Amino acid sequence: MNKQMRWTFLLVLLLALAGLACNAITGGGNEPAADAGSAATAEPGSSDGTQDGAQADAPVVEGPQSLDLQSLGQGLVDVNSYRVTLEVRFEGTDATGAPATASMMANIASVVDPPASEATFEISGVADLEEVGGLSIIQVGDQVYTTLPGLGCISGAAADLGAEANPFGDLLSSNDLLGEISGAKRVLPDETINGVATYHYTFDETVLDDPNNEIDQVDGHIYVAKEGGYLVRMVMDGVGRIDIFGDGTDQTGNIHIELNSLDVNQPIDIQPPADCQSFDFEIPDFAAQESPYPVYEGNTDLFVFDDITSYQVVASIADVVAFYRAEMPAAGYTELVDRSFVSDTAAVLYFSLNDKVFVVTISDSEGTLYVQVVPE
């Protein structure tokens, strides 16, 4: 794959990654963030928050006693500048029972006026995204600068890349990370986190509503700024079945997620990198390209780029597995049966051709199969 084609493919992947990250720090609601202290719940029996029979000088606990993440509203969208760090770690087994680890570290900085943003990503253990490790994306005004180890730096107009004026303004939604959390409970004493006075809330698996994952054990902590009502820190350690690789197959193991907001409304200097190559970006018509592999009839959302093919189809796992076990050998491939895995909800088939190994991944999501064929 030549350098220009590699840049094109990686930029498409990054646009998809940015789409996943487009609901940041907040629950994604349209209401502005309220002051976290304005929703304090008074105990029954007294207008000043004290219970009947309590000592008159008993301390009044300020701030809401429970929390729904959706109530945080737009959070950091309304501030002028901030930094955010997000760390995700997974350790367990994949759909075949083999050991699996993955990690991602993101560092984000954003300034509204003058408009600028910067993001760096370190990713390991996630198929097709290893090359994103060390990625840096800087946007200053209407120009985007992308640096990737081994490929150097390219720049282009934000409008040509589909970027927003503030592409990370609502990055990394707590809903996207954990599903809906309602009823997180207040714990005392209050704490100062990242230099900010916060209310501290805890949650477990009983208040976590995430239809995409089956998390059985959760120890979660949320810290909300007393002034501004934005998310200062969220930490979760969980055990369960998680689609950490984003391919529709579940992995079983331990996951750690930690998000921190830093330097809110503090001066942040973001400058474009020197010696960045200009790049005229045009998204190719991936569906118009012919796949080098057999493709199941009736598919939709076909994506073909070089030796990567993916699509969706309404069919049974058994039928699609049978299709590939018939058509791949007919095309000259040999199945590595000892490595292949098939279940009622997912399948991973391995084939070899000319000393190369190719992987067919099939996963079921509510009756729709997601199929991907890639070289190992």
pLDDT for position 137: 87
Does residue 53 carry a pLDDT above 50? no
285 or 113, which is more confident: 113
What is the identity of the amino acid at 55? Answer: Q
Does residue 68 carry a pLDDT above 70? no
Does residue 166 carry a pLDDT above 50? no
Q: How far apart are the first and last CA of the chain?
A: 16
Task: Look at 24-38, 126-140, 263-277 and tell me which has the smallest mean pLDDT.
Answer: 24-38
281 or 150, which is more confident: 150
Which range of 53-67, 206-220, 239-253, 264-278 scores highest in mean pLDDT? It is 264-278
Query: pLDDT-derived band of residue 122, with 50, 70 and 90 as boundaries?
Result: confident
Query: pLDDT-derived band of residue 50, with 50, 70 and 90 as boundaries?
Result: very low
Stretch 109-132: mean pLDDT: 78
pTM for the predicted model, two decimal places: 0.58
Which range of 26-30, 36-40, 246-250 scores highest in mean pLDDT? It is 246-250
369 or 41, which is more confident: 369
For 145-163, what is each residue's pLDDT tens digit?
888 777 778 887 766 655 5
For 82-106, what is each residue's pLDDT tens digit?
998 988 888 888 767 788 788 888 8
pLDDT for position 123: 79
CA distance 296 to 293: 10
Give residues with Cβ within 8 angstroms of 17, minimum separation 6.
121, 129, 132
